[in-house]
Amino acid sequence: MKIRPLADRVVIRKAEAEEKTASGIILAGAAKEQPQIAEVVEVGPGGVVDGKEVKMEVAKGDKVIYSKYAGTEVKVEGEEYTILRQSDILAVLE
Amino acid sequence: MKIRPLADRVVIRKAEAEEKTASGIILAGAAKEQPQIAEVVEVGPGGVVDGKEVKMEVAKGDKVIYSKYAGTEVKVEGEEYTILRQSDILAVLE
Amino acid sequence: MKIRPLADRVVIRKAEAEEKTASGIILAGAAKEQPQIAEVVEVGPGGVVDGKEVKMEVAKGDKVIYSKYAGTEVKVEGEEYTILRQSDILAVLE
Amino acid sequence: MKIRPLADRVVIRKAEAEEKTASGIILAGAAKEQPQIAEVVEVGPGGVVDGKEVKMEVAKGDKVIYSKYAGTEVKVEGEEYTILRQSDILAVLE
Amino acid sequence: MKIRPLADRVVIRKAEAEEKTASGIILAGAAKEQPQIAEVVEVGPGGVVDGKEVKMEVAKGDKVIYSKYAGTEVKVEGEEYTILRQSDILAVLE
Amino acid sequence: MKIRPLADRVVIRKAEAEEKTASGIILAGAAKEQPQIAEVVEVGPGGVVDGKEVKMEVAKGDKVIYSKYAGTEVKVEGEEYTILRQSDILAVLE
Amino acid sequence: MKIRPLADRVVIRKAEAEEKTASGIILAGAAKEQPQIAEVVEVGPGGVVDGKEVKMEVAKGDKVIYSKYAGTEVKVEGEEYTILRQSDILAVLE
């Protein structure tokens, strides 16, 4: 079973704690939003969203920093994902 | 009796608990919205909504993940439905 | 005396309790809005509303589901009506 | 002395209690706004208001239903008026 | 020293109490804004304001009704003025 | 060291108390914003700001009236400045 | 590992306390936002953001004044950064 996000939504899977330590990335929480690191699993088609053209800038496999509270958490076939808008993704780690 | 949704609205029927277990889908609730799985029953015509062109991307029979509090619940001829905007549908399960 | 609604407004008259039972329609109230069934009595001309072109999609005699708190209740010549915007009408029952 | 309303504003004078009884019109107050009946006294020129073209749809002498709290009350030469935007007028009584 | 208002702003000077009595104008305060009468002293150039073309419709010497809390009070060379946007002027008294 | 404001921002320096008395300008504080007099020190380039074309209307050396709480105070090399948007400047004193 | 900001976002690194004293820059905090000085580390590509064309006006190495609470703090490989929108950068120090 596959999650196909609509419009400018992106499905991400949080990086595991071990992986974060290995890459040396630690994220400090700000007052109003908890930044998170995750891997992009599925990318919506973009297109006209709320009357504005949106071009998708992230791709499957990208490691991204996002704002935790912006998305919705779902569990599909035992695995946890977050569905959020691309505009809630702040940056890609390269 | 049929419910014909206006504009970019979609009529959905929540998946039953049994079905959810069979497909192995369990949905975790986020802080501000309870994600839900449902089946699309009727789809509005789309078109110009609040001055913006909306193209309908879901179809009858689609299994979708949506945000519970966005819609309005109605009971017609003994069956419960939810009417919500397509923009409140996050993803399609395939 | 006739109520002529302006712009994208619609005048509706709530279906009576008896009628609702006869047609087998029961409406469950959501957390923030009480859905209602009503009959369309008068329809505004539509046109440019708040700078956006609005086309009227409902007609006199339509049975509609709407959100109760969106409209304004008026009593004219002893009969109660509700005046609301077409965008507060969720669906037509056919 | 004459009140010339600017833009999409309309000057109205509330119908007197006696007149309301004579015409058989009684207005029930909703939760958040008190609907009112009034007579249109002066109509602004319309035109571009907040970047949007507004066409005036009411005329002097029209009996209108409006939302009380939307306007500003003024007393000129001993007579009370209300100045409000045309979009706060819900319907015309004919 | 002269106050040159920017954009769609207007400088007004409140009518004195005596003058108000002479002209027979008494202004009743509404719940959320206190209407006021004043004389226009300076008028901004209008033009593109917040991306929208604004044409100035009031002129020096006009008696206007405005909403008190919308503007900013200033005292220049011992005289009190109010600077407000033209959209906060409701009507001109003629 | 020079402060180069971005977009439609303006750097101002508050007029000293002595100067204010000399010019006879006294500013009365309104309920929600404290008007201030200041001298323009640097002017941003204007251009497209938030999707709208902004043309700068103030120049270095202008005496302006502005709303105090709209800007951000900074101290550079011992001198205090305020950085604010041009739309927070109400008028120029001439 | 490099942080590639999306859209109109900018990655900055706060200037150290020592450096601030050396350059003689001291920043006073306003009521609602704490201005900060920082160095630009990475600049997003700009382009169409929320339906509006954004041109990036800051460059790597620029010393900038920004509003602290607008951004999100992240720590990558032991170093702390802030990711914010270019519109939250008030001015460049030259």
ipTM of the complex, rounded to two decimals: 0.79
Please give the pLDDT value at position B12. Answer: 97
Extract the residue ranges of chain G whose pLDDT is less than 70. 16-35
Q: How far is C21 from chain D (nearest CA, A)?
A: 26
Least Cα distance to E12 among E46, E36, E45 occurs for E36
**Length of chain F in residues, anyone?**
94
Q: Using the beta-carbon criterion (under 8 Å), do A57 and G4 form an inter-chain contact?
A: no
Least Cα distance to G46 among G63, G59, G64 occurs for G59
Whether chain G lies against chain D with 3 or more Cβ pairs closer than 8 A is: no
- Does residue E2 form part of some domain? no
Structure tokens at G20: 């601030």
F22 Cβ partners below 8 Å, 6+ apart?
Answer: none
| Banded model confidence at residue D34, pLDDT cuts 50, 70, 90 | low
As a whole number, mean pLDDT of residues F10-36 equals 60
- Does residue G1 form part of some domain? no
- Does residue D3 form part of some domain? no
**Length of chain B in residues, anyone?**
94
Q: Does E57 touch chain F (CB under 8 A)?
A: no
Q: Using the beta-carbon criterion (under 8 Å), do E4 and F92 form an inter-chain contact?
A: yes
- Does residue G84 form part of some domain? yes
- Does residue A70 form part of some domain? yes
Q: What is the total count of domains within chain E?
A: 1
Q: Does B1 touch chain A (CB under 8 A)?
A: no
Give the H or E element holding residue G13.
strand G9-14
As a whole number, mean pLDDT of residues C2-23 equals 78
- Residue at E22: amino acid letter: A
CB atoms within 10 A of CB D44: 22
- Does residue A88 form part of some domain? yes
Measured distance CA(A43)–CA(A46) in Å, rounded: 8
Q: Are C44 and C51 in contact (CB under 8 A)?
A: no
Least Cα distance to E13 among E71, E93, E56 occurs for E71
More confident residue, G35 or C38: C38
Q: Examine the pLDDT at A59 and tell me if it is beyond 90.
A: yes
Q: Using the beta-carbon criterion (under 8 Å), do E50 and F52 form an inter-chain contact?
A: yes
Please give the pLDDT value at position D35. Answer: 62
- Does residue C48 form part of some domain? yes
pLDDT in tens, C64-89: 999 877 888 888 888 899 999 999 99
Measured distance CA(C36)–CA(G33) in Å, rounded: 46
pLDDT in tens, F49-93: 999 999 999 999 999 999 877 888 888 888 899 999 999 999 999
SS3 label, residue A2: coil
Extract the residue ranges of chain E whose pLDDT is less than 50. 17-22, 28-33
DSSP character at residue C71: S
As a whole number, mean pLDDT of residues D62-84 equals 89
CATH number for G70:
2.30.33.40
Please give the pLDDT value at position D67. Answer: 82
SS3 label, residue A88: helix
Please give the pLDDT value at position C16. Answer: 63
Give the H or E element holding residue B59.
none
Q: In this complex, which chains have at least 3 CB pairs below 8 Å with chain C?
A: B, D
Kindly report the three-state secondary structure assignment for every residue of F36-51.
EEEEEEEECCCEEECC
Pairing mode, strands G52-54 and G47-49: antiparallel
Q: Are F81 and F11 in contact (CB under 8 A)?
A: yes
- Domain holding C26, by residue range, is 9-93
- Does residue B3 form part of some domain? no
Structure tokens at G5: 């900001």
Q: Are C65 and C90 in contact (CB under 8 A)?
A: yes
Q: Does A50 touch chain B (CB under 8 A)?
A: yes
